[in-house]
C-alpha cells in the first residue's frame, strides 16, 4: 500500500478547485509515506481502507477551511520556520483569570502586545464536565467552549483579533481521555455500535491488577490505580474502566482506528476555528501495553506522527506542542528525535531547564544544571523548545539520580531538599511555596507557588526588607533572562509581569480548595497593571525588565530556533554559561550568576576575546579584572558577536 487512493485527485479538484487541489495533492504526496507507515504500524491489514478515510477526512477539513486561514497557511508554507523566529514569544493565561470572558479578551490585547507577545496560550477552555473537572482537562465537548467563558463564535473572534495583530492562538487539546459525560462515552455505555471500542473496560480485576503492577499512579492519594469501577459498563454488568488520571476521565482506546479518525476530525475542526498551536495534553499515556509503565511507548509516537501528518495536510499552518513532562531522553522523541527522524511535534516544554534553574537558585550552584543540560540529546532543527520559568502546574523535581550522582549528590536527598527549600521549611529559605501531593511515606512531593513568591518577593514585602526585595527581584530577572535568552519560544505566565504573589482566594471555593496549585493561578490584578507604567513601582520594574528582554531578544538572530544552546564551563561553579550560534548569525553567549555573591568567569570564553558587546544585562557592561569577567551576585548578561 503505497499509492494515493483512487479518485482522490478528482475529489480534491471538485472540493477545492484546481489551484487549491494542486496544493493539497502536493502536500498529500509529501506526507503519504509517513501516513502509510503509521497506519500499517498501528493497524496492520486494516491500513488500506483507513488510508482513504483518513485522507478524505483531511480533504473535507481543507475544503471547509476559511479563506483567511488559507492565506495564513500559504505564508507559513513559504516560511515553515515562522514559529522559530526570535520575535515569537508567548503569554499563558486562564481566560477567566485574565479578563473574565472571551468576549472581553480582544480589548486586553494592548497589554499583551506591549510585552512583546506574539503567541497566546489560553488554558483549558473547551466545555468540561460540570462539577469536578481537573481544572478543565475533563472535556465533555471538543466543539464547544466552557459556557462560563463564552461561545465557540467568541473563540473564533479572538483568533481573528490575534491574527490581525500578527499573534497566534494556542489551546489545550486533551488526547488521552474524555470526560465520562462526552457523547462518545455516553454512546459507548449505551452500546451504540458507532462508539464500540472507544474505551477500555474489564469485567474483573485480573487484567487491571496486571497492568497496575507496573504502571505508576498519577494521583496516589486521591485516585489510586489506573482503573475505576463503573456499574453501567459492559452492558450494565459493570466493569473496570481505564482511568489513568481521575475516575471521571476515561482513557480513549487508540488501538481502535475509529478513535483515531474521530480525534482527527476534532483537531481539524478546531483548526478551522483559527487555532494555530495545539498543546497536546498527556501524550506519553496514549498507548498501553501490559508489563510496561504505560508511558512513552513507540506506538504513542507513531500515533502523534499520524495525527500530525494528517492535520498539516488539512491545515499546513498548524503546529503541535507536546505536553510531556518526562525524562529528557524520552522528551526529545516527541520532537521527532528518533533513530530515524519522523515529524511529530514542533514544540515541547523545556522542563529540564525550568527545574534546573530553580534548583540552581536554591543551592547557589550551577554545576547540576551544566551537567544535566550538557548531556541532553539534540532536537531536530525543524523543532524548538518552549522555555519557561513556571507554568500553571506544580513543579516536580525532575533531577535524575544519574545527574545528581555525577556531582556526588544523592538524588532523592536533593529532591527532598528542594521541596523543603521552596516550601519555606529549610532554614534561611526566601521562598513561600507549598507542597503539592505530598506522600509522607516516600517523601515525594511537588511545589506550588507563583514565581514572585518562590523568588522571595512575598517574603521580603511581608518583612519590609528592602535589601531582600532587591535580591528577590534580581532572582526573578535572572530566571526570565535565561528563559528569554536560551533559545526557543519563551513563555510568560500571567501575573509574572506584575510580580503577583500567592493567591489564597481559592480556599473560599469548595471546588478549588483541595488543589493548592490554584495559589499560583491568581486573577490578573488590573489595578496593579495600571501601575506598570510607573518605573518606581514593583510592577513597573518587573514590566520594564520583561519588555527590555523582549526588545533585546528580537534583535538577536542567534536566538532563532533551529539550533541548540551549548552549555559552557567558564570557570565558575556558580555561573551558568551557554552559547548559541544560528547558521545565519554570529554567536550569542549568555551567563547567569545563581549565587548571591560576585563571581568571575573567563572573559575570553564569554566575550570572544573581548569582541562581543553586551546587548542586555542586569548591570550593564561588566568589568574585567585579570582576564576574568566579574559578574555581580544574581547578575546576568547576554554578549553577542556583531
- pLDDT tens readout for residues 298-321: 999 999 999 999 999 999 999 999
> Which tens digit of pLDDT belongs to each residue from 124-161?
999 999 999 998 999 999 999 999 999 999 999 999 99
pLDDT at 441 over 80: no
Which of the residue ranges 242-251, 321-330, 333-342, 505-514 has the most confident prediction, judged by mean pLDDT? 242-251
Q: Which CATH number fits domain 90-176+257-557: 3.40.50.300, 3.40.50.620, 3.20.20.70, 3.20.20.80?
A: 3.20.20.80
Edge-first strand listing for the sheet containing 614-617: 566-568, 575-581, 587-593, 636-640, 614-617
User: Domain 564-640 - what CATH class?
Assistant: mainly beta
444: confidence class by pLDDT, cuts 50, 70, 90: confident
Per DSSP, which regions of 234-329 are E strands?
Answer: 239-242, 249-251, 277-281, 319-322
Question: Are the C-beta atoms of 560 and 585 separated by less than 8 Å?
Answer: yes
**Which residue has 527549600 as its cell numbers?**
421
pLDDT at 442: 77
C-alpha 314, offset from chain centre: 24
Minimal CA–CA distance to 330: which of 385, 289, 377, 393? 377
pLDDT at 636: 98
pLDDT at 377 over 80: yes
Question: Are the C-beta atoms of 55 and 15 separated by less than 8 Å?
Answer: no
pLDDT at 327: 84
Neighbours of 141 (CB within 10 A): 18
pLDDT at 282 over 70: yes
The stretch 325-349 carries a mean pLDDT of 91
341, three cell numbers: 527522524
Question: Are the C-beta atoms of 286 and 303 separated by less than 8 Å?
Answer: yes
> Which tens digit of pLDDT belongs to each residue from 482-491?
999 999 999 9
> Which tens digit of pLDDT belongs to each residue from 222-264?
889 999 999 999 999 999 999 999 999 999 999 999 999 999 9
Name the pTM for this structure.
0.96
**CATH superfamily label, 183-251:** Oligo-1,6-glucosidase; Domain 2 (3.90.400.10)
pLDDT at 2: 61
> Which tens digit of pLDDT belongs to each residue from 33-44?
999 999 999 999
324: confidence class by pLDDT, cuts 50, 70, 90: confident
> Which tens digit of pLDDT belongs to each residue from 90-102?
999 999 999 999 9
Q: Where in the chain is the domain with CATH 3.90.400.10?
A: 183-251
Question: Are the C-beta atoms of 124 and 136 separated by less than 8 Å?
Answer: yes
Q: What's the rounded Cα separation, in Å, for the pair 86 and 104?
A: 29
Percent of the chain with pLDDT strictly greater than 70: 100
> Which tens digit of pLDDT belongs to each residue from 463-480?
999 999 999 999 999 999
pLDDT at 1 over 60: no
The residues annotated as belonging to the active site are 281, 323
61-70, 234-243, 505-514: which has the minimum mean pLDDT?
505-514
Q: What's the rounded Cα separation, in Å, for the pair 113 and 51?
A: 43
Query: Helix H segments across 486-558?
Result: 526-530, 538-554
583: confidence class by pLDDT, cuts 50, 70, 90: confident
pLDDT at 221 over 80: no
Query: Mapped to the 3 state alphabet, what secondary structure does 12-74 carry?
Result: HHHHHCHHHHHHHHHHHHHHHHHHHHHHHHHHHHHHHHHHHHHHHHHHHHHHHCCHHHHHHHH
Question: Are the C-beta atoms of 177 and 244 separated by less than 8 Å?
Answer: yes
Q: Where in the chain is the domain with CATH 3.20.20.80?
A: 90-176+257-557
Amino acid at each position: 500500500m503505497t499509492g494515493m487512493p483512487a479518485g482522490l485527485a478528482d475529489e480534491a479538484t471538485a472540493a477545492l478547485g484546481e489551484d487549491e487541489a494542486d496544493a493539497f495533492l502536493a502536500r498529500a504526496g509529501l506526507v503519504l509515506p509517513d501516513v502509510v507507515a503509521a497506519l500499517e504500524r498501528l493497524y496492520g491489514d486494516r491500513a488500506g481502507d483507513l488510508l482513504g478515510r483518513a485522507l478524505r477526512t483531511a480533504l473535507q477539513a481543507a475544503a471547509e477551511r476559511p479563506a483567511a486561514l488559507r492565506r495564513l497557511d500559504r505564508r507559513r508554507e513559504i516560511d515553515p520556520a515562522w514559529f522559530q523566529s526570535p520575535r515569537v514569544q508567548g503569554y499563558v493565561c486562564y481566560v477567566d483569570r485574565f479578563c473574565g470572558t472571551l468576549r472581553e479578551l480582544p480589548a486586553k490585547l494592548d497589554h499583551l502586545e506591549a510585552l512583546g507577545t506574539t503567541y497566546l496560550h489560553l488554558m483549558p477552555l473547551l466545555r468540561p464536565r460540570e462539577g469536578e473537572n481537573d481544572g478543565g482537562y475533563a472535556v465533555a465537548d471538543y466543539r464547544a467552549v466552557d459556557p462560563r467563558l463564552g461561545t465557540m463564535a467568541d473563540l473564533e473572534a479572538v483568533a481573528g483579533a490575534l491574527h490581525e495583530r500578527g499573534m497566534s492562538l494556542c489551546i489545550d487539546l486533551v488526547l488521552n481521555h474524555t470526560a465520562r459525560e462526552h457523547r462518545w462515552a455516553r454512546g459507548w455505555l449505551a452500546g451504540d455500535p458507532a462508539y464500540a471500542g472507544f474505551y477500555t473496560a474489564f469485567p474483573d480485576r485480573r487484567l487491571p491488577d496486571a497492568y497496575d503492577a507496573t504502571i505508576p499512579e498519577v494521583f496516589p492519594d486521591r485516585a489510586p490505580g489506573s482503573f475505576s469501577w463503573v456499574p453501567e459498563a459492559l452492558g450494565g454488568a459493570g466493569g473496570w474502566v481505564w482511568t489513568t488520571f481521575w475516575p471521571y476521565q476515561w482513557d480513549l482506546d487508540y488501538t481502535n482506528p475509529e478513535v483515531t479518525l474521530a480525534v482527527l476530525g476534532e483537531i481539524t475542526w478546531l483548526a478551522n476555528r483559527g487555532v494555530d498551536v495545539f498543546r497536546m495534553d498527556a501524550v506519553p499515556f496514549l498507548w498501553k501495553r501490559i508489563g510496561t509503565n504505560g508511558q512513552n511507548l513507540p506506538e504513542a509516537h507513531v500515533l502523534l506522527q499520524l495525527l500530525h501528518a494528517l492535520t498539516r495536510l488539512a491545515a499546513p499552518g498548524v503546529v503541535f506542542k507536546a505536553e510531556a513532562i518526562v525524562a529528557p531522553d524520552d522528551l526529545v522523541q516527541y520532537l521527532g528525535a528518533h533513530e530515524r527522524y519522523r515529524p511529530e511535534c514542533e514544540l515541547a516544554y523545556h522542563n529540564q531547564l525550568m527545574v534546573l534553574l530553580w534548583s540552581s537558585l536554591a543551592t547557589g550552584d550551577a554545576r547540576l544544571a551544566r551537567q544535566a543540560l550538557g548531556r541532553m540529546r539534540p532536537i531536530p532543527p525543524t523543532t524548538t523548545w518552549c522555555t519557561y520559568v513556571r507554568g500553571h502546574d506544580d513543579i516536580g523535581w525532575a533531577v535524575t539520580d544519574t545527574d545528581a550522582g555525577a556531582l556526588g549528590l544523592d538524588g532523592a536527598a536533593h529532591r527532598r531538599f528542594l521541596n523543603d527549600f521552596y516550601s519555606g521549611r529549610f532554614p534561611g529559605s526566601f521562598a513561600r511555596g507549598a507542597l503539592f501531593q505530598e506522600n509522607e511515606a516516600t517523601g515525594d512531593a511537588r511545589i506550588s507557588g507563583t514565581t514572585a513568591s518562590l523568588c522571595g518577593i512575598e517574603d521580603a514585602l511581608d518583612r519590609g526588607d528592602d535589601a531582600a526585595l532587591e535580591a528577590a527581584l534580581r532572582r526573578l530577572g535572572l530566571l526570565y533572562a535565561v528563559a528569554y535568552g536560551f533559545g526557543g519560544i519563551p513563555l510568560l505566565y500571567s501575573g509574572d509581569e506584575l510580580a503577583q504573589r500567592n493567591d489564597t482566594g481559592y480556599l473560599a471555593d469548595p471546588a478549588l480548595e483541595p488543589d493548592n496549585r490554584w495559589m499560583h493561578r491568581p486573577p490578573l490584578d488590573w489595578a496593579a497593571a495600571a501601575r506598570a507604567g510607573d518605573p518606581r513601582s514593583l510592577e513597573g520594574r518587573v514590566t520594564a525588565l520583561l519588555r527590555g528582554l523582549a526588545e533585546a531578544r528580537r534583535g538577536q538572530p542567534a536566538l532563532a530556533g533551529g539550533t541548540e544552546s551549548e552549555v559552557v564551563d567558564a570557570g565558575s561553579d556558580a555561573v551558568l554559561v551557554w552559547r548559541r550560534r544560528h547558521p545565519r548569525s554570529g554567536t550569542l553567549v549568555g551567563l547567569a550568576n545563581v549565587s548571591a555573591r560576585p563571581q568571575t568567569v573567563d572573559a575570553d570564553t564569554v566575550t570572544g576575546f573581548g569582541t562581543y558587546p553586551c546587548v542586555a544585562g542586569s548591570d550593564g557592561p561588566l568589568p574585567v579584572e585579570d582576564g576574568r569577567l566579574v559578574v555581580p551576585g544574581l547578575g546576568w548578561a547576554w554578549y553577542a558577536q556583531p
